[in-house]
Structure 1
Amino acid sequence: MNPTALASLEARQILDSRGRPTIEVDVVLADGSHGRAAVPSGASTGTAEAHELRDGDPARYAGLGVLKAAANVNTEIFHALKGMDTLDQRRLDDTLREVDGTPQLKRLGANGILGVSIAACRAAATSLKQPLYARIAELAGNPAPQMPLPMVNILSGGLHAGRGMDVQDFLAIPASASSVEDAIHIASKVRNAAAQVCAQEGIPTLLADEGGLSPGCQDGDHALRLMIRAIEAAGLRPGLDVVIAIDVAAASLQQADSTYRLAREGKTLDADDMIAMMERWVHDYPVVSIEDGLGEEDWDGWAALTTRLGQRVQLVGDDLFTTNMQRLRKGIDRHAGNGILVKVNQNGTLTGTLDTLAHARSKGYTAIISARSGETEDPFIADLAVGTSAGQIKIGSLRTSSTVCKYNQLLRIEAATGFPYSGIGALNGKGA
C-alpha cells in the first residue's frame, strides 16, 4: 500500500472549552504516521455555516452529543476514504463533500468531516516529516509563510458572556509590536491592566467564553473608555502602541423587522443608526476594525457602511460570509465589507477554507484566521495562519488552555523559523 494512504480512521466524543461535546478524529496512514484533530464550535453562528450534527438526545449533554457524527466518521466516511492518498488533500476533501451530498454537510455532519480533513493533513505532514504550517503552505501555494498580527480579546458581551453587554467583543491590536512575541507581551499587559481597571471601578471581572473579561458595560462607549484606560494603565499609548477592534455580532441583535435591539441601552436602531454609531466610535476612539457591524442579510446596509467607513477601517464579515465562497462572491459584488473572518468549521474542509481565503485576498480583502468560542487544545489555526500568510489571527484572550495553546504554537513557530512578522501593515493601511 502507498505509505501515505489512509489506513485507519477513528472519531470520538470529547469536550470543548465550554464543557460541551465535540469531535476528535485520529487518522493513521499505511506507514504508521498519525494525525489528530479536535473540532471547535461557535456560539454566535451564521445561518449559512456548515452544519454541526448533534444527537438531540436530551438525556445526554442536553441534546448536544456528537456520537452520531462520530459514528458516521467511523463507518461511512472511513469506507469512502480507506486507501486514499492523503497527499491529495483536495481529492480527499472533495470525496468527503460528495459522500455527504448536501451543501452544508448536514447529513453526515460538518464537525466530523472537518475533523477528518484536518487530521489527514496532519498525518500527511508527519509522513513527509514537515511542520504542519509547511504542509499548509504547500497546499495554499504559498512560498513565503509569515507570522500573523494577533487581535486579542479583552472585554466580552453578547453571546460570549451571557448578554452582559450588547456588543460582543472589544479587542486589542498591538500596533507597535515588531514580532509575535512582542505582540503577545503587549496584549498581556493590556489584559492584566483591564482587570485592574475593572476592579477599581467595582465592576465584574468574570471570565467570558473566549477568556476576556465580562464587565457588563451599559453601552459601547463605556467599554471603549475602559479599553483606553487599560491601555494607558499598561503604560502604552492608545492609537500608537495599541489600537482597538470591535466585534458587534449584529446578527444576534437584529429583530424580525430588521431593526437592531440594544437591550442594555434600551434602544432600537435601524441600519442607518447603527452605521452612525460605528462612525462615531471610529471618530472618538482608535478603532481600526469592526466585525459584523450589521446583520448577515443586510446587504444594502453593509454596502452603505462600506461606503462610509471602508476607506478608514477594516470592515470584517463573519456571519456575513461564513467562510463560504458563494456568500463571499456576493459580498464582493455588492461592495460589502473589505475583510473576511476565516473559520475552518464554518466551511467544513481544509481546501474549501483555503479556496475561500485565496479568493478574498485576490479581491483585496484582508483576512483574519479565527478561533471559535467553544475551542479545544488543538492549535491548528496557528499553523493555518502562518502557512497561508493570512496576516491576522483572532484567537481569544490570554487565558485558558484552549486559547493559550494557540499563542504558544505561534511563539514556537516564530522561534524556530524567524519568519517575518505581518505587523500592523496586515490591515492594509486601515487605521494604521
Structure 2
Amino acid sequence: MKVEDIKTRIVFTSSSKPTLEVEVKTIKGSVKASIPFGTSTGNFEVKNLEPKLAFKTFSQFKDALKWQEWSSIKEVDEFLKRVDGTEDFSRMGGNLALAISIAFLKAFALEEGVEVFEYLSKKPRIPLPLCNVVGTWEKKKTFQEFLLFPKHQKNFFDSIEKISQAYHEIALELKRKDKSFNFGRNWESAWVCNLTNEDILEILEEISKKYDLFIGLDVAANNLYEIEHYHYFDKKLNRMEQLNYLEELIKKFKIKYVEDPFEENDFVSFSTLQARLPNTLICGDDLLVTNLKRLRAAIDLKAVRAVIIKPNQVGTLSDTIKFFEEAKKHELKTVISHRSNETDDNFLAHLAVGLGSDFAKIGISGERIVKINEFIRIEEKLS
C-alpha cells in the first residue's frame, strides 16, 4: 500500500480537552484515527505528548511514511519504534504512534474493501458489554466505577437495552436515597452521588437481579493508595485490611468482576485475592497497562483471570495484539476498554469484534453511544 498524503490535526475529546487525529489518504480514499486518553493512568504506560509537540516530531519522518510501500501493520509499527528509539515512545509520543498505527490499519482494510473488524479476523465475535453506571470524580476516596454486565447474552442489543433500563432505574433509586443527587454524571456519563460503596452496591444488587445482570467494580486502587494505606473517605486500610474488605464485599454482593483492587505494584495481593475468590474475575489495568512483560509476571503469579486492554497504554496495534494473544493463550478473559476522555472514533468496536474480545468496557450513555451504536451495526452485519 502506498500513502498519498498524511495530515494531522487537533480535535477535542468528550471532556473538551485537545487530542490529536491523523488522516491517511491512499488511492482508495481517506481514513482517520483520533486518540483518547485516561484520567486514571498507570505509571508504566507509554508517554503521551501534547499534540503540538507531537506534530513537530511528526514533521521529521512524515515523508518517510509516504515514500515507502507498506505491506502490513506490523511493518508500520516496527518503523515507528525505530524512529522513536525509546521504550516508552517518549520522543514521538505514544498517542501519535497509535494514531498512525490505527489510521494505517484502517487504510489497509480500505485497500482490501473490507470492514476493519473483518480485516483483523475471519472469525469476528461480539463481546459482552461491561458498562459503568455509577462512578466518581477524579481522586474521590471511593471506588471509581460500579459496573453492570449480562449474565447471558442473547445478542448485544438486548444486553445494552437491559443495562440502559437498569441505568435509568438506578438514577431514580439514587435520588430516593441521596437527597443531594441531582442526576449529575462524570466524564464517562456514569451517575455521581454521595452514597457509600455499600449503599450503591445495595441499589445495584436489587436492580441487577431484575435485569439478569452481574455487578462489577473498578476499584482503581492507585487513586486510593498513599503511604502504604488505602484511604477512603470513612476509613484507612492497610494491605491486608483492603484485601479482607474487598473479599467481604465481593461475597456479600456476589460481585463477579473486580478491576485493580490493589495498587499497581502489588502483584502478590492480586494473586491472594484471586486465589481466595476463584469464581470472580480479578482484572488488571494499572497493574498491567497492556504491557507484555507485566502480563507475563501476572501469569506466573496467577494474579488475574482477566486483563484490560487499552491500545494507548502501549502505543501500537501490533503490541496490543501481542498482548491480547498472550492473554488468550493463558485462558485469561480479555476486556477491550475505552478511556475517560473519548473521541468520536468508533475503532474500539472494530478492535473488540475483530480480535474476539470477551468484554468491551464502553460505558452506557453520553458520547459512549458512538461505540455502542457501532457494535449494534456490526452485529447486524454479522447476523
Q: Retained in 1: the 8 A contact 2:133–2:145?
A: yes
Give the 3 Å change call, closer, same or farther, for CA 164–200 of structure 1 in structure 2: farther
Report the Cα offset of residue 77 of structure 1: 3.3
AA matched with 1:78: K
Map of 1:8-407 to 2, 5 A cutoff?
8-29=5-26, 31-54=27-50, 66-73=51-58, 75-137=59-121, 143-157=122-136, 161-164=137-140, 166-201=142-177, 202-204=179-181, 205-218=183-196, 220-231=197-208, 236=210, 241-256=212-227, 258-262=228-232, 264-265=233-234, 267-309=235-277, 311-396=278-363, 398-401=364-367, 403-407=368-372
CA distance in 2, matches of 1:85, 1:359: 30
CA distance in 1, matches of 2:98, 2:135: 28
Distance 2:19 2:207 in 1: 35
SS at match of 1:6: coil
Gapped regions of structure 1 (runs ≥ 5): 55-65, 138-142, 419-432
The Cα RMSD (Å) is 1.4
Kept in 1: contact 2:10–2:18 (CA 8 A): yes
CA distance in 1, matches of 2:70, 2:31: 11
Equivalent AA in structure 2 for residue 251 of structure 1? N
Percentage of identical aligned residues: 28
Which letter maps to 2:231? R
**Count of aligned pairs:** 381
Q: 2:376 aligns with which of 397, 400, 411?
A: 411
Instruction: Give the whole-Å Cα distance in 1 for the aligned partners of 2:31 and 2:104.
Output: 6
Partner amino acid, structure 1, of 2:376:
L
Shift of 1:364: 1.5
CA deviation vs aligned residue, 1:357-410 (integer Å, no higher than 9, x gap): 1001101211000000000010111000100001110011x2222x10100000
How far the C-alpha of 1:84 sits from its partner, in A, is 3.1
Q: Secondary structure at the match of 2:61?
A: helix
Instruction: Report deviation, 1:165.
Output: 5.2
Q: Is the 8 A contact 1:341 1:369 kept in 2?
A: yes
Alpha-carbon shift at residue 270 of structure 1 (Å): 1.5
1:164, 1:216 within 8 Å by CA — same for their partners in 2?
no
Tell me by how many angstroms 1:177 deviates.
Answer: 3.1
On the 8 A contact 2:139/2:224 being kept in 1, the answer is no
> Shift in Å at residue 414 of structure 1?
0.5
TM-score, length-scaled by structure 2: 0.96
The 2-side partners of 1:288 and 1:144 are apart by 27
CA distance in 2, matches of 1:298, 1:190: 34
Q: Is the 8 A contact 2:7 2:24 kept in 1?
A: yes
**Structure 2: unaligned runs, 5 residues or longer:** none
TM-score by length of 1: 0.85
Look up the SS of the partner of 2:273 in the other structure: helix
